[in-house]
Amino acid sequence: MFDVMKGVEIEPQLENRVVEGQPIVELEDVTKVYRQGAVDVFALRGLSMRIEKGEFSALSGPSGSGKTTALNLIGALDTPTEGSVRLEGKNLASLTRRELSRIRRDRIGFVFQAYNLVPVLTAFENAEGVLRLQGVDPKERRERVMALMADVGLEGMEDRLPGALSGGQQQRVAIARAIASNPAIVLADEPTANVDSETAEHLLDIMQELNQTRGVTFLFSTHDPRVMSRASRIIKIVDGRVEDA
């Protein structure tokens, strides 16, 4: 399929392939090494873990422990030096670049601490971005995004640009964007880092409600005790290894 407005090819949406009893995410003996000059820096050292469907889990640990590296590997944004990363049973290392792009588009939602909204697009347009890339019918796209705007408390703000929204409201748009495609998992990297305490609690309320009512699976990277107090499971990472799960 071809989107005339964007001038790019649009591929069919991937089907939801979560298999009952199969973990959504599985990391097995994953090591990640970065080369800095003549020195090898180990971000992960034989990390193994599983995330099941419907979890509301958090990766915790000090800065530099490997939390964000683990999220990047799960999100197909990076590749492990050793070991395997599986998403819905598929070894990400065995996939082509196009297949990885489709998985990032269709099966993974991302929430970043810096929001990463397009400043010239409205809240609605930012939230519908993935659906446009999937070639979803405009009427269905509008219905889904308007429902999401209401779910995240932004009803009536759909036409506002990011610059006209508070930090917490921008993060709500990012949450709506992350779940618009009904992904297998939402990866949230320090989503409460740039907002005040009250806003952080509201954002967590929204995500927990989406987890409980829509069955959205969330995996956080955080050292925020407010996030950890809500998590159904805390996976503690120290020096690139799981210390406690």
pLDDT tens-digit readout, 130-168:
999 999 999 999 999 999 999 999 999 999 999 999 999
| Angle (nearest 5°) at CA 205 between 241 and 201 | 80
pLDDT exceeds 60 at position 112: yes
Residue 193 is predicted with a pLDDT of 87
User: Would you kindly state where each structural domain of the chain is located, as residue ranges?
Assistant: 2-244
What is the band of 21 on the pLDDT scale with cuts at 50, 70, 90?
Answer: low
pLDDT tens-digit readout, 151-210:
999 999 999 999 999 999 999 999 999 999 999 999 999 999 888 899 999 999 999 999
Q: How many CA atoms lie within 13 A of 240 on its CB side?
A: 15
pLDDT exceeds 80 at position 10: no
Name beta bridge partners: 84: 28
What is the band of 88 on the pLDDT scale with cuts at 50, 70, 90?
Answer: very high
Question: How high does pLDDT run on average in the chain?
Answer: 89
Protein fold of 2-244: Rossmann fold (3.40.50)
In degrees and rounded to multiples of 5, residue 107 shows phi and psi of -115, -5
CA distance 231 to 171: 19
CA distance 78 to 107: 16
pLDDT exceeds 60 at position 3: no
Closest C-alpha to 26, from 243, 210, 242? 242
Residue 245 is predicted with a pLDDT of 61
SS3 217: coil
**Average pLDDT for residues 41-70, to the nearest whole number?**
94
Tokens encoding 128: 């519908």
What is the band of 113 on the pLDDT scale with cuts at 50, 70, 90?
Answer: confident
Residue 195 is predicted with a pLDDT of 87
CA distance 17 to 20: 9
CA distance 170 to 114: 9
pLDDT exceeds 50 at position 1: no
